[in-house]
Homo-oligomer: A and B are copies of this chain.
Amino acid sequence: MTTSSAPRETHRTLLADFEARRPAALARAVSIVENHRAGFEQLLGALHPRLGRARRIGITGPPGAGKSTITTTLASLYRSAGLTAGIIAVDPTSPFTGGALLGDRIRMEAVALDEGIFIRSMATRGSLGGLAAGTREVADVLDGYGFDRILIETVGVGQSELDIARTADTTVVVLVPESGDSVQAMKAGLMEIADVFVVNKADRPDAERLRHEIEMTLGLRLGGSTMRNVPAHHGVDLKTLRNPAHAARKQAQNDSAGTWTPPVLATIADRGEGIEALAAALDRHFDYLSRSGMLEARRRERLRERVVEAVERRMRQRLWGDAEIAAWVDAQLPALEAGTLTPFAVADTLLARNAGRLTQ
């Protein structure tokens, strides 16, 4: 993957425009990085020293939970506080990426006209080198451009989507009273990734019950009257209920300064209710991350992942981008089909034959 001098020249102009904070340069830089076009590594490399200013906030949850409304409303709130916000939507149900209801569309266009807000939707399919890596790279561009907040909206059901959430400093999980099935579906992953829970559409029936359920699953509110109000079959973690020691430990963690138990907030995002409280919780979580050393740890982990991805991408390109190797693999297919060769034997031969190409 060598870059000819022509794209490198373009890239230098682009970088100058980017540094002058020209919106068109931002859009082009994002496209180059998102599509891994020639020069994308040089571009990301040039931005690398500037990373780390932005706070990255992942917003995830099942379809229909109101993630887009929360994302847009939060971005507007940041704008009114004088901050800029970049939005990356990797959610097929989002108005940024998919079909929008009229209200969503209007709200979105209102924020999209603001120069302090940038919106980019990412294709969820066929992403080069993985969706999580691609999302982080686009976030890097926005970070390098100087956005104060980067909001990453993703539907939180599948594995890849949960991986995306992990690229953020803080992850918000949005649920709605009617998403009972999804809570069940996502529970294992949810409890692991959520830094802040939001129960949206909090004016609907059962919203309060959902909040109780989440808090109980988190090991809070134990031994009180709330236990009787929540039917045990409805998504409550019985292990937690039956293990007071575990619950007490969780509670103790919550009381001490050095740990974080996810708050469970209520919002009615359509009316903007609860969004300020959400922004405040995000600030508190960021403070917690900074004070505890977790921010540094999470960002170090992301740096390590960037190295791993760059190495693996090089290896994949050098092997699978090589027409000779592709033809050689094709030539092994008849023996593989006949069962006289195994994929593992073919892999060994392939690596032995192509040692030189891997580290060219």
Please tell me if the beta carbons of B320 and A307 are within 8 angstroms of each other in the complex: no
**A45 and B303 in contact (CB under 8 A), knowing A158-B161, A311-B350, A351-B359?**
no
Cβ of A6 within 8 Å of any chain B Cβ, yes or no, is no
When the two chains form the complex, which single residue of B161, B314, B344, B346 contacts A347, counting CB atoms closer than 8 Å?
A: B314
Q: Is A262 an interface residue (CB 8 A)?
A: no
A345 CB, nearest partner CB in chain B, Å: 7
Q: Does A113 contact B (CB under 8 A)?
A: no
Q: Is the CB of A48 within 8 A of B343?
A: yes
Asked if A345 contacts B184 (CB within 8 A), the reply is: no
CA distance A50 to B131 in the complex (A): 35
Chain A residues numbered 290-341 whose CB sits less than 8 Å from any CB in chain B: 299-300, 303-304, 306-312, 314-316, 319-320, 329-330, 332-333, 336-340
Q: Which residues of chain B are within 8 angstroms of A343 by Cβ–Cβ distance?
A: 44-45, 48, 303, 306-307, 309-310
Q: Do A93 and B184 contact each other (CB < 8 Å), given the known contacts A189-B125, A359-B352? A: yes
- Give every chain B residue within 8 A of A186 (Cβ-Cβ): 92
By a beta-carbon cutoff of 8 Å, the part of chain A in contact with chain B is: 41, 44-45, 48-51, 63-64, 92-93, 98-99, 124-125, 131, 155, 157-162, 181-182, 184-189, 299-300, 303-304, 306-312, 314-316, 319-320, 329-330, 332-333, 336-340, 342-348, 350-352, 354-355, 358-359
**Known interface pairs A185-B92, A339-B51. Does A157 touch B160 (Cβ–Cβ under 8 Å)?**
no
A9 → B minimal CB distance (Å): 19
Q: Are A337 and B131 in contact (CB under 8 A)?
A: no
Report A258 CB to chain B, min CB distance, Å. 23
